[in-house]
Chain A
Amino acid sequence: MELVIAISVGIVFGAGVWLILRPRTFQLITGLMLMSYAVNLFIFAMGRLWVNQPPITPVAGIDPTQFADPLPQALVLTAIVIGFATTALYLVIMIGARGLTGSDHVDGEEPRE
């Protein structure tokens, strides 16, 4: 499991890095989305992997070692929602810049080549 997660995080992150280095705004936004998946998974993995042990404590007086780590989960939940807001903001800037500059290049103008 660890290896699968590690490789997957690597591939998704790499694809994201490739995309954010591209010149088109749409590529940038997709790159940021992929990177945020990878980073969220990475932060989540900081709590180690637990199968079938969700942090839901039905009774008091439990053994905390038998439950998944709730802290990274809470942080990632926040990150996911904030990620949505960032994507929305970026998207609006993207289409706004496209309308203003007439170009969907990340610099707002086509490169002179």
Chain B
Amino acid sequence: MLLFSLIFVPFVGSLVAALLPADARNREAWLAGGVTVYGLVVAASLYPEIAAGEILRHDLPWLPAQGLDFVLRVDGLAWVFTMLVLAIGFLVVLYARYYMSPSDPVPRFFSFLLAFMGSMLGVVLSGNLVQLVVFWELTSLTSFLLIAYWHHRADARRGARMAFTVTATGGLCLMAGVLVLGHIVGSYDLDVVLAAGDRIRAHDLYLVALVLIALGALTKSAQFPFHFWLPHAMAAPTPVSSYLHSATMVKAGVFLLVRLWPALSGTPEWSWIIGGAGVCTLLIGAFAAIFQHDLKGLLAYSTISHLGLITVLIGIGTPLAMVAAIFHILNHATFKASLFMAAGIIDHETGTRDMRVLRGLRHKLPITATLAIVAGAAMAGVPLLNGFLSKEMFFSEALLVGSDRNWWMSAAAVAMGIFSVAYSLRFIAIFFGPPATDLPRVPHEPPRWMRFPVELLVLACLVVGVVPAISIGPILDVAVHATLGASTPQYDLAPWHGFNLPLLMSVIALVGGVLFYVVLRNRFDLHARTRTPLIYRFNGAQAYETVMLRLTSGAEWLLRWLGTSRLQPQLLIMIIAMLGVPLLLAGVPTQWTTIPRQGTDPLFALVWVIGCVCAVAGAWMAKYHRLAALSLIGGTGIITAITFLWLSAPDLALTQLMVETVTTVLILLGLRWLPPRIEAKELETPSGVWLHRSRDMAVAVAGGLAMAALTYAVLIHPASDTISDFFLLRALSEGGGSNVVNVLLVDFRSFDTLGEVTVLSIVALTVYALLRRFRPAPESTGVPAQQGHSLDPASHQTPAEQANSGYLMVAGIYLRLLLPFLGVIAVYFFMRGHNLPGGGFVAGLIFAVAILVQYMLAGAVWVENHLRVRPHRWLAFGLVLACTTGLGAWLFEYPFLTTHTAHVTLPLLGDLHLPSAFVFDLGVFAAVVGTTMLILVALAHQSVRAHRLPSEEAPQDSRRPS
């Protein structure tokens, strides 16, 4: 649990930090600092066990079905990295408290920073490779968020995108590599993988796994050719650069390589891929660093070069090289973090990071200057500082490569040494010379606690450089033992090894570096160069942009050629696919057994002749005469209802009939808002249109034929056994109703029905919401031409007047009388629903129609003055009733929506059976009434509203709401 809290607490802290107010700078810093200190205390308390060589594990089930556990595993290497992440993290939090300006949104910064800390600890502590990849991607994500922290700046956005694209793509490669590795080993558990090194190297897929994992690691650690993202990531606030992009996140790549060293290394492929990338990176980074003008740019390229150095050591892969690699990871984190912080202080105090402007800073910033010079010397590899020790180890390993005949590795190492001395000098030069006068701000020493982290880190550089064996020795030993196990070599951490070749190389590097810098500065006008000589052509960032541009234009091209935003082609393709795909999938039918046909009733055939004529004529008229088309299609609907009745489905027939009525009214209300109808004679059809039409006609005929054939094929086939018999047999005995369809709806499948009424309510509310923002087309706002004619009695009467005293008086009296009758009919259909055709749906629709008739007769205004219909309440009441009925079953410890039938004997009414499904059906009834009323009334109100709105243009309209 303690282990788990190491990862968990930073994420919780991140969440809390995000919720604090924007001006809580101190609270944020205290929170982040507290989280970090907690982590440090926990991690430090593990030291005795780790020092004894134990491996601590904590397993939690994660995806047991996939054989994946959430494993936290701490060995020496993980412990050292945990301490590194937390210790540097603490210093960065302290530094950031003073670095961030009060106008920056601090909660966001600390929240992201803590989330990154948690992710990084997750990478380090993962005992499962898949889990490691997840945290790996999380670090990419948090890095993206932190780089883009000042997202109003274009370079921040660009840098963040670039960093994320490169590292996340690498992460995907890593994922693939891990999967291959898991396939080889049969487990993702780190212990198992590390123990299976021989099996992995002998496997056919070894190279695939190696290349994919190397891609992940090299992109993350900014290795050639993926190094270009790191300089662009410098758009981040300096604490982020210091923490993520020098000390920790970019080390994740090399950490992974060290982690998997026992499993993957020891082959020529390993050396060539890892070592090769490392050598290129080391030289390019160091060389390019000399020619930067931006302080952080110089440090970024220097970081690239040092990461290259570590990668080369890992690529060499001998046990001593691994010792040097781990040692240099720690050393680099120390001096580079302090250098970034110093650069941040300079930026903060002077307002610029341009080395062409900065000079003579030691006068104004004496302490910072001293600190930065010491750290810079460590970076250059000056003796008695920590950078010297690990660089010395690197030189001696480089000498061993290629034995006595091949000296290229040594030459590269010395060249890199020369370059790094040169760029360190370039960095240090800003403190010397006459004080600059043209700085944007007059520099002062920073606040005490802002400089404190730098002081501490520089002190560490010195202590490690002078007495390595007693300061860093035990810690390094723990990490080395955990990585190398039995093959741990004898090594000697001492500043002085006597006169030997590596020392000579160091001297050459120091002297050569100074000379090189002086020559460059005096002869080649270093300050005026705008690009890195020789290698500026290998511009990774440019290549990246080009690739991105090609990808975008390629995607656009594909979209243009393969996609469309037009509906008709989409529907056409969909229909064609519906016709074609089943043909491809269907095999030859196994056997054709037919059942005897039902005798054809001529009347039924006649009914359908009418139905088909209605459908085809409706399709024809839909273009020219909407009202006619609607009536014709309604005709087909009525024929459908008749068919249901004929073929033993009375419930369906009732529902279809009522829905037909309501739908027709609904569309009639909508017709008013469509543009004027197209006159047939206006149409001149271009020849291309005929082609379209013939094609559509062919598709329509094919679709019709297919549907007819399929229906016929099914109908002449014997029915297979379904669960229908179950319903027929149990409806009365267990559901308590003889109308099986209704019992199905309100009892057996009541959960389905509950879902359905919920959908209905959602649709009704959506319609209502959409109509609130409805803006009709300008030409539809006035009174329709049909109503405007002066001979029409409707033209000078409101609908209510027409019904109460006008030409609709007779109809008015009849239709008002209809209301109670329809109400009674609705109750009747509802009550008998359980045993005979009827039920909540039908009754609800009948009741809604009863009220609609009143609306149609006298208009919305009059009805609403006399009858308070509140569709929202009906809706809410229905849903609540249906749900509570369902929940009621819980009181008796039955599952949701279990029905109970009570038998009550009442005087006068006699024996009644009252199933709880009845109450549920009442809920359905109310919801259906609410839905129908809400939709239709909302639509009807548009006419009233539209007349009212443009009252200035058409004052006569306000008189007559329809």
Contact = CB atoms under 8 A, between A and B. Distances in A.
B463 interface: no
B615 A11 contact: yes
B745 A4 contact: no
Contacts of B744: 70-71, 74
Nearest to B598: A1
A69 B649 CA distance: 9
A43 to B, nearest CB: 10
A17 B283 CA distance: 68
A102 B759 CA distance: 30
A59 B773 CA distance: 54
Contact of B623 (A24, A33, A82): A24
Contacts of B712: 2-3, 6
Contacts of A11: 612, 615-616, 704, 708
Contacts of B709: 6, 10
Given A15-B700, A41-B643, A42-B707, A78 B568 contact: no
Interface string A1-19: 1111111111111111111
B715 A6 contact: yes
Interface string A69-109: 11101101110111111111101111110111011101100
Nearest to A42: B711
Given A55-B740, A70-B727, A71-B744, A14 B707 contact: yes
Given A2-B597, A10-B707, A34-B618, A44 B636 contact: no
B695 to A, nearest CB: 9
A40 B641 CA distance: 11
Interface string B609-623: 001100110110011
A107 B566 contact: yes
B763 A89 contact: yes
B717 to A, nearest CB: 9
Nearest to A10: B708
Contact of B649 (A1, A28, A68): A68
Nearest to A23: B568
B740 A27 contact: no
Given A12-B611, A40-B640, A74-B749, A45 B649 contact: no
Interface string A42-80: 101111111111111111101010011111011011101
Contacts of A70: 724, 727-728, 731, 740-741, 744
Interface residues of B, number: 114
A19 B740 contact: no
Given A17-B703, A18-B697, A80 B655 contact: yes
A100 B643 CA distance: 40
A30 B618 contact: yes
Contact of A21 (B575, B600, B651, B719): B575
Contacts of B756: 78, 81-82
Given A21-B572, A70-B728, A56 B739 contact: yes
A77 B757 CA distance: 13
B423 interface: no
Contacts of B435: none
Name which of B601, B700, B733 has the most chain A CB atoms within 10 A of its CB.
Answer: B700
B41 interface: no
Contacts of B686: 113
Given A20-B571, A34-B618, A73-B652, A82 B759 contact: yes
Nearest to B572: A21
Contact of B619 (A18, A37, A60): A18
A53 to B, nearest CB: 5
A37 B646 CA distance: 16
B45 to A, nearest CB: 62
B738 A57 contact: yes
Contacts of B766: 89, 92
B324 to A, nearest CB: 67
Interface stretch (B266-274, B535-543, B665-673, B900-908): B665-673
Interface in B626-644: 626, 629-630, 633, 636-637, 640, 643-644
A45 B928 contact: no
B191 interface: no
Contact of A99 (B615, B673, B729, B763): B673
Nearest to B613: A11
B955 interface: no
Contacts of B732: 57, 59-60
B775 A51 contact: no
A5 B708 CA distance: 8
A36 B608 CA distance: 16
A34 B633 contact: yes
10 contacts: A15-B615, A20-B575, A40-B640, A48-B715, A51-B646, A56-B740, A64-B729, A68-B648, A93-B770, A104-B675
Interface of B: 565-568, 571-572, 575, 595, 597-601, 604-605, 608, 611-612, 615-616, 618-619, 622-623, 626, 629-630, 633, 636-637, 640, 643-644, 646-652, 655-656, 659, 662-663, 666-667, 670-671, 673-675, 686, 696-697, 699-701, 703-712, 714-716, 719, 722-725, 727-729, 731-733, 738-741, 744-745, 749, 752-753, 756, 759-760, 763-764, 766-767, 770-771, 773-777, 780, 835-837, 841, 928, 931, 935, 939
Given A78-B745, A107-B568, 15 more contacts: A13-B707, A14-B700, A30-B633, A40-B640, A44-B652, A48-B719, A51-B646, A52-B648, A54-B649, A68-B647, A70-B724, A70-B727, A77-B741, A82-B756, A89-B767
Interface of A: 1-31, 33-34, 37-38, 40-42, 44-60, 62, 64, 67-71, 73-74, 76-78, 80-89, 91-96, 98-100, 102-104, 106-107, 113
